[in-house]
Amino acid sequence: MVVQQPGAPFTYGTVKAGEFVLDYAEARPDAPTETLVSFPGSAGLEMSPSKDILAERYRVIEINPPGWGGKDDLNRPMPMAETAQLLAEAANQLVQDRYYILGSSMGGVNAVYAAAAHPERVKGIILEGGMAPAREQDVIVPPPPRPEPDAPVQAPFQSEGAPQYPQPPVNPKKPWATDEFIANQMANRFKMIAWVAPEFLPEDALKSLTDLRLPVLALLGDQDEILRPSQREAFATYLPHADFRFVAGGMHDLQNINVAEFVALVEEFLNR
């Protein structure tokens, strides 16, 4: 049986930012009420049923960072602050007015950095299982270990003698994400992590957002496989003004697995 993947409303393009040409996907209705720019998680650009639904009412753009999603355009270390700046540069070219940022997982770190650097363009941020702010005790599964940049690129769960990093199981609510699909995402993550060191407490950027009182919606599934519920305490410390919500039965990938709840919470935030 062929399973239809999400993303049918989206078209694809490229935009130059710094020394890189970034891939992006975009969909919009005839008269969007807001613009939502999505910074993906460590797997890179990925469509979802939630983005399909949101694109019926809003302009939705997802931008793939350099070296993410299987791209071969990164051959030097890149701090996440630089990744965020490139994403913001791309977003500011694609969108003429102000916009919201959706940061998923590691993309949440990029969202925090980008919003702090460009508060004149960013109306607010949504963190979906965002990895910032997160303290060491809040993280259940650390990111894959960083290989040497010149080492052969292999997913660690496939590499003999390499540290084991478990591959997530196929979820019946995401049937297009087969074992092969997930294995490819894991390999892409491991390849990216060779150059991009995860950063979960960008304290200066978090302080800027707190001082600015920039609207923040933080969503965490109460069954998240990556982050513990104790992350709520990290938000209370580093982003105390954020609207933090647990999603009952929610996992890390809310926009694919907990679609109705995710869309409702995002729309409530955008329409305030």
Q: What is the pLDDT along the chain (272 residues), one digit of tens a residue?
A: 556 899 999 999 999 999 999 999 999 999 999 999 999 999 999 999 999 999 999 999 999 999 999 999 999 999 999 999 999 999 999 999 999 999 999 999 999 999 999 999 999 999 999 999 999 999 997 776 666 655 554 444 344 444 455 667 778 899 998 989 998 998 898 889 889 989 999 999 999 999 999 999 999 999 999 999 999 999 999 999 999 999 999 999 999 999 999 999 999 999 98
Q: Is the dihedral of CA 168, 171, 177, 179 positive or negative?
A: positive
* Per-residue confidence (pLDDT) for residue 2, from 0 to 100: 59
* Per-residue confidence (pLDDT) for residue 228, from 0 to 100: 97
C-beta of residue 78 within 8 angstroms of C-beta of residue 195: yes
DSSP-derived letter for residue 105 is T
C-beta of residue 188 within 8 angstroms of C-beta of residue 106: no
Beta-strand relationship, 11-17 and 20-27 = antiparallel
Instruction: Return the beta strands (E) in the chain as ranges.
Output: 11-17, 20-27, 35-39, 59-63, 99-104, 122-128, 216-221, 243-247
Rounded CA separation 166/141 (Å) = 9
* Per-residue confidence (pLDDT) for residue 272, from 0 to 100: 87
Q: Exposed e or buried b for every residue in 19-41, given b needs 16+ CB within 10 A? A: ebebbbbbbbeeebebbbbbbbb
* Per-residue confidence (pLDDT) for residue 154, from 0 to 100: 46
Query: Which residue segments constitute the domains of the chain, with CATH numbers given?
Result: 11-270 (3.40.50.1820)
Rounded CA separation 153/250 (Å) = 32
C-beta of residue 268 within 8 angstroms of C-beta of residue 261: no
Residue carrying the six token digits 């997913």: 155
How many whole angstroms from its chain centre is CA 188? 14
